Structure 1
């Protein structure tokens, strides 16, 4: 994420079993199926209704920026099977490299802290409070955009998002919910930081979505959503049924689009809508600003299952 660092001069325990990733390989996938317990309720003694609890079956994939493969990129994420399941992504701000600071340190420590606090009594399964506690515990210099989603066993998905990482909920072949990016201006999203100037958990966009068995969610850093349209995400789900394969396919698609200078990506469309365009000589030749955006790409796919 090559975006400015927010400074004063600019616009303004562990009961979980987490998977925390600071990836050094080009591609890495994982798949976890959670153990859940049956619960039952009855509308009347004569007409009992058996209702199963739900959880996530999760697949993940991370592809670092081509120039950051040796360092594993600057994204970090974790997956936990606590309660119905917890998934989270943090995207480090690469502008810190200009200050001789490793941009990957802050998001990695933040995700490690968040995973530690998942079962904390004070968090009480609230992603916004989890962001607060993880942020307060992170001592590394840097900043990151962050999204955390926590699934209750009754099907309620709680989401807290600061910046431009994103999440989509897909049901019956269409997107029924999507997060909106938060930004100060184009290419400068809200970010949690080690600096006093920056956003806090109070700035998080908070949402609750009621999920049902068979729903699928896609969470990712902006490396995914800057390069892949929602209709392409849906088409990928038609082709791949396994969550790990789907996550890998989406990450590969985003990587392919990011390297294609002729692809009219979500990022280039947004840039043109904000007044950015190709140089005049290219416009004279009938050319326009196109292309994907090279970046770290993190994808988490979660399917709602009952057991």
Structure 2
């Protein structure tokens, strides 16, 4: 993701789609993904019956130039309580300092996944974000969003920066987050530096959900390249989140490499007075094109959780993705 510098023109990119397959996290981070005991509190002795929970579909497509390294986004999903999910988008500007921007976002998500059941977190996404940030020792910074569903249907979320979330109900967007920016293309971010944003700067929201509602969460690579009405039309083609997960990401990837697509990013750039030189305007030209970036998408569907879950399932299944 382009964060350190403002982009004044859209690069020309070859037109093709990238499809990522899951890869194992780095050894330093797999301690949370592999060793469930280290991440999970002891299972309760009684069984849990939920009212609602979330069924997930996920997909990540790295920036074309970062595909060999897996990109700089990271995310995790968990079935704890009604469901927990999060995305962190590493700030690429750190690369000029010979810092791998992926490490901060990956460690932030690994720490968050380990702390989901911490009693001090108390199922509060803002506190979870703060504790995960405090535990992260990698150099770098990232935008991040964390969301937690209560079994009664209340979705709680905390967002720092320009990762986003949409709630879809019967073909309409009933809730959307708003990006936090210092100025155009420079979002709020959690950082290893003392000066910067913290969990206290997060926008905190609660949304009451109904069975059947769809949740679309993404890094800015999604929302910079796909309009909300496209998300709605894409998601409406599928009955489940598992089926729908990869298609918004594929659409964003396609748009991001289309130099003739008037994307949400190019529209915002023009609204902020970033455009082609004056002489090109005279010729009727304008700044258009998609924005190549890492693209991470989590699609969640609110489903009934009437079935009794085994305690080990309800408390222990945590999956971390950092491709």
- Same-fold call, TM > 0.5? yes
TM-score (norm 2): 0.81
Q: Which aligned runs of 4 or more in structure 1 are off by greater than 6 angstroms?
A: none
The residue that corresponds to 1:221 in the other structure is 219
The residue that corresponds to 1:271 in the other structure is 269
The residue that corresponds to 1:4 in the other structure is 4
Q: 1:192 aligns with which of 190, 202, 206?
A: 190
The separation in 2 between residues aligned to 1:160 and 1:28, in whole angstroms, is 28
Structure 2: gaps of 5 or more residues: 6-17, 23-46, 306-323
Q: Provide Cα deviations, 1:88-113, integer angstroms capped at 9, x if missing partner.
A: 00000000000000000000000000
Q: Tell me the matched-pair count.
A: 270
Confirm or deny that 1:64 pairs with 2:62.
Answer: yes
The separation in 2 between residues aligned to 1:152 and 1:182, in whole angstroms, is 25
Confirm or deny that 1:201 pairs with 2:214.
Answer: no
Q: Alpha-carbon deviation of 1:285?
A: 1.8
Query: What is the alpha-carbon root mean square deviation over aligned residues?
Result: 1.6
The separation in 1 between residues aligned to 2:21 and 2:223, in whole angstroms, is 19
Higher relative contact order (CA 8 A, sep 6+): 2
Partner of 1:70: helix, strand, or coil? Answer: coil
The separation in 2 between residues aligned to 1:242 and 1:158, in whole angstroms, is 22
The residue that corresponds to 1:46 in the other structure is none
The residue that corresponds to 2:20 in the other structure is 27
Partner of 2:245: helix, strand, or coil? Answer: helix
The residue that corresponds to 2:304 in the other structure is 306
The separation in 1 between residues aligned to 2:72 and 2:236, in whole angstroms, is 30
Aligned pairs for 1:85-234 (under 5 A) are 85-234=83-232
The residue that corresponds to 2:244 in the other structure is 246
The separation in 2 between residues aligned to 1:271 and 1:85, in whole angstroms, is 35
The residue that corresponds to 2:280 in the other structure is 282
The separation in 1 between residues aligned to 2:19 and 2:261, in whole angstroms, is 23
The separation in 2 between residues aligned to 1:250 and 1:244, in whole angstroms, is 12
Structure 1: gaps of 5 or more residues: 6-24, 30-35, 39-51
The residue that corresponds to 1:74 in the other structure is 72
Q: Alpha-carbon deviation of 1:279?
A: 2.1
Q: Are the equivalent residues in 2 in contact too, given 1:146–1:161 (CA < 8 A)? A: yes
TM-score (norm 1): 0.85
Q: Which of the pair is proportionally richer in strand?
A: 1
Q: Are the equivalent residues in 1 in contact too, given 2:76–2:85 (CA < 8 A)? A: yes
Q: Provide Cα deviations, 1:244-264, integer angstroms capped at 9, x if missing partner.
A: 331211001000000011111
The residue that corresponds to 1:21 in the other structure is none
